Chains A and B, each alone.
Chain A
Amino acid sequence: MDAKKLLYVDRRVIYLLVAIGALIPIIRPIGLPTVPTEPVWNLFNRIEELGPDDAVIISFDYGPSSEPELNPMAQAILRHCFQRRVKVLVMALFPLGGVNMAIGQLDRIASEFDGLEYGVDYVNLGYKDGAQAAMKRMDISIEALFPSDVNGDPVADMPVMAGARNYDDVSIVISLATGIIGEYWVNLVNAQFGVPVAVGCTAVSAPKYYAYLRAGQMMSLLGGLKGGSEYEKLLVDKYDFARELYETPEVKVSSAMAGMDVQSIVHLIIIVFIIFGNAMYFLMKKQEKEG
């Protein structure tokens, strides 16, 4: 066996193997189990304690580059909040795509629940520039920062805003973040104003955020697609509506639980690549010594 030849195989062969590994579970789903972990339980249990008199901020701080990871957890959290009839204030502080991510999902998810009314139970406040400046402003007045919603309609007369004037009226801030904005919610809003912050982040950011989680600066952390799948599992185990909803084809194919099938297969492929690559490397070294 020529180790060197195997080691320096055309990279397009590697790409093809990864592509096949990703396509097979999409075409034929496997349905692997998911086990929720404590960081995800924290947010779920907290929202379970909330009701119609409580308000949460859900900040869509991500764009298309994180859509597959964060859309499923965004939808699961929205469904949970709407089921509990918690007042939801949606906003975006991430410039590339946050507001459009919210537009694409909010009304669609709300329509799954009877009796929910825009402006009364939930509102999409849109995007605001400034990041930290915007966050600091909301300590005084959310309405002053967002005088109109994403469609340009004034929020002053919306009943949902009556119970959410500033951070004092907000039970949790849930930031679905692709980068530094999630940290700003923690090291500025939680640190200076004491608002509990939960972060749903891409898997790239999750290792760093464990330090914040341990220090109690974040009350919950949902890391990547796995975090989303865990939250969906908790929802499905608790509520019948969720169990039925996540069995429907349209919701099932785009769910994080289905995405974990692809994760599992491709992770295994990459682990095999690492082990095989190292084996070939050491074999090549041995052959060079002998040769």
Chain B
Amino acid sequence: MRRTIPLALTFIIGLYPIFAFFVPHARITYANDWLDEALVIVAAFALPLGTVNVIMTNTSKLKKKAKGWPYSIVLLCGLAIMAFYGLIGGTGVHPSFQWMFVNMVSPLQATMFALLSFYVASAAYRAFRARNIEATILLIAAIIVMLGRIPFGDMVTGGRMTPLSEWIMSIPNAAAQRGIIIGAALGAASMSIRIILGIERTYLGTGKD
């Protein structure tokens, strides 16, 4: 029962939006709209779900004084302060919440991702090799597109680089991406049907009950 009822729920709730798409009857649509409204709220509860796990892991680390435990204090303090100002604001963004986002969360995330530019440059120098035909095609396409995205490309080729770069993006690139999109979409659709029909059950966990 502990697995049967969830599987039945997945089947009914999963099929309903598909059914409602093809049957535009007022009552069917009404129930579908209510489902949309309900899932917005459930998604809001789901968003911070992983936080509980992180809190448990880091408090355990603190208790055992495991390696790196001072950083767990930093993590938990950051979490607590941000959550506090997020909760006391009621409806609407608290000014301190916005301030901390702009001056702390935003630069931290932005700089983390900015590090990637250095790694990409290092990879371009050390690893990007024209070892075979395929790699050479990749390299040439990359250089043409990179030159086409900057003014220098047009300046040295008399304005030809941008149109060439746009052609690469619109024809061979778009063709390949379309093939990938169609293939991936068919795969995702078949996985969706497998979950709805209960063939794929890994999302329920591997518990014995």
Assuming the A-B contacts A34-B151, A152-B92, A264-B151, are A277 and B128 also in contact, with contact meaning beta carbons closer than 8 angstroms in the complex?
yes
Interface size class of A (residues with CB under 8 A): 35 or more
Which residues on A sit within 8 Å (CB–CB) of B112? Answer: 65
Assuming the A-B contacts A63-B109, A210-B174, are A268 and B152 also in contact, with contact meaning beta carbons closer than 8 angstroms in the complex?
yes
Partner of B106, one of A97, A140, A226: A97
In chain B, positions 128-151 with a C-beta closer than 8 Å to chain A are: 128-130, 139, 142-143, 146-147, 149-151
A-B contact pairs, 18 of them (CB 8 A): A11-B126, A65-B112, A68-B110, A97-B105, A129-B41, A130-B39, A136-B36, A137-B37, A206-B169, A260-B150, A267-B147, A270-B121, A270-B146, A271-B143, A277-B126, A277-B129, A278-B129, A281-B129
Interface centre among A137, A144, A153 (most CB of B within 10 A): A137
- Closest residue to B42 on the A side, CB-wise? A130
**Cα-based distance from A177 to B165 in the complex (angstroms):** 23
**Cα-based distance from A130 to B40 in the complex (angstroms):** 4
Stretch at the interface among A45-53, A99-107, A112-120: A99-107
In chain B, positions 164-181 with a C-beta closer than 8 Å to chain A are: 166, 169-170, 173-174, 177-178, 180-181
Interface size class of B (residues with CB under 8 A): 35 or more
B158 at the interface (CB under 8 A from A): no
Which residues on B sit within 8 Å (CB–CB) of A68? Answer: 110
Contact B36 A226 (CB under 8 A): no
Which residues on B sit within 8 Å (CB–CB) of A95? Answer: 47
Which residues on A sit within 8 Å (CB–CB) of B203? Answer: none
Which residues on B sit within 8 Å (CB–CB) of A8? Answer: 126
**Cα-based distance from A253 to B117 in the complex (angstroms):** 21
Assuming the A-B contacts A103-B93, A263-B150, A268-B152, are A130 and B121 also in contact, with contact meaning beta carbons closer than 8 angstroms in the complex?
no
Q: How far is the CB of B99 from chain A (nearest CB, A)?
A: 10
* Main SS class of interface, A: helix
Contact B149 A263 (CB under 8 A): yes
Contact B151 A32 (CB under 8 A): yes
Interface centre among A136, A148, A281 (most CB of B within 10 A): A136
B107 at the interface (CB under 8 A from A): yes
Partner of A14, one of B93, B102, B125, B146: B125
Which residues on A sit within 8 Å (CB–CB) of B90? Answer: 152
**Cα-based distance from A290 to B159 in the complex (angstroms):** 43
**Cα-based distance from A17 to B154 in the complex (angstroms):** 24
**Cα-based distance from A273 to B149 in the complex (angstroms):** 18
In chain B, positions 96-118 with a C-beta closer than 8 Å to chain A are: 98, 101-102, 105-110, 112-113, 117-118
Q: Which 4 A-B pairs have the closest CB atoms?
A: A152-B92, A152-B91, A130-B40, A64-B106
Assuming the A-B contacts A68-B110, A274-B128, are A226 and B174 also in contact, with contact meaning beta carbons closer than 8 angstroms in the complex?
no
B33 at the interface (CB under 8 A from A): yes
Q: How far is the CB of A142 from chain B (nearest CB, A)?
A: 13
Interface centre among A11, A14, A274 (most CB of B within 10 A): A274
Assuming the A-B contacts A64-B110, A208-B181, are A137 and B33 also in contact, with contact meaning beta carbons closer than 8 angstroms in the complex?
yes
> 1/0 per position for A120-136, CB-CB distance to B under 8 A?
00000010111101101
**Cα-based distance from A96 to B122 in the complex (angstroms):** 29
- Closest residue to A127 on the B side, CB-wise? B93
Which residues on A sit within 8 Å (CB–CB) of B5? Answer: none
**Cα-based distance from A216 to B37 in the complex (angstroms):** 30
Contact A137 B36 (CB under 8 A): yes
A239 at the interface (CB under 8 A from B): no
Q: How far is the CB of A279 from chain B (nearest CB, A)?
A: 10
Contact A210 B162 (CB under 8 A): no
B21 at the interface (CB under 8 A from A): yes
**Cα-based distance from A137 to B43 in the complex (angstroms):** 14
Assuming the A-B contacts A100-B102, A211-B181, A278-B129, are A151 and B121 also in contact, with contact meaning beta carbons closer than 8 angstroms in the complex?
no
Contact B170 A129 (CB under 8 A): no
B74 at the interface (CB under 8 A from A): no
B26 at the interface (CB under 8 A from A): no
> 1/0 per position for A24-41, CB-CB distance to B under 8 A?
000000001111011000
Q: How far is the CB of B127 from chain A (nearest CB, A)?
A: 8
